[in-house]
Amino acid sequence: MIRDRGRIKWTSMMLPEHVKLLRDWVKEDQYELQKEMDEQQFELMNDILAEAIEFNQDVTITHYRNRNYEIVIGKIHYWDELEHKLHVVDHFNELHRITIDTIADIRLTDI
């Protein structure tokens, strides 16, 4: 019976620099590219934002951060017009500052 140890048998013959480069390469393959938005999506997001701010409703925001998409669920606390950032307070009372350029999707949430 052949007992193959997979990557374990090859890492002993590799330099530590090569192992690090291979690990970085695997991590880099998991990165997502930021999607471009069109004008209709911006208008729809603007309407949802206005409604959420006016009626103090919960929203689900998908935004691009650290080369991946993240989801934040909470209430919009403040819109910073100078820095173009939304201040969102989630259900754990943590404050998230989300740049408007990184937002991919906004939806009203019923929790």
CA-to-CA distance for 111 and 97, rounded, in angstroms?
22
CA-to-CA distance for 69 and 97, rounded, in angstroms?
15
Q: For residue 1, is it within any domain?
A: no
Q: For residue 59, is it within any domain?
A: yes
Q: For residue 82, is it within any domain?
A: yes
Counting the structural domains of the chain, the total is 1
The list of the chain residues with pLDDT below 70 reads 1-12
Q: For residue 92, is it within any domain?
A: yes
Q: For residue 27, is it within any domain?
A: yes
Phi/psi at 30 (nearest 5 deg)? -85, -5
Q: Which pLDDT score, from 0 to 100, does residue 11 have?
A: 61
Phi/psi at 28 (nearest 5 deg)? -65, -30
Q: For residue 12, is it within any domain?
A: yes
Largest Cα separation within the chain, whole Å, is 69
Q: Which domain holds residue 32?
A: 7-111
Q: For residue 2, is it within any domain?
A: no
CATH of the domain at 33: 2.30.30.520
Q: Which pLDDT score, from 0 to 100, does residue 84 have?
A: 92
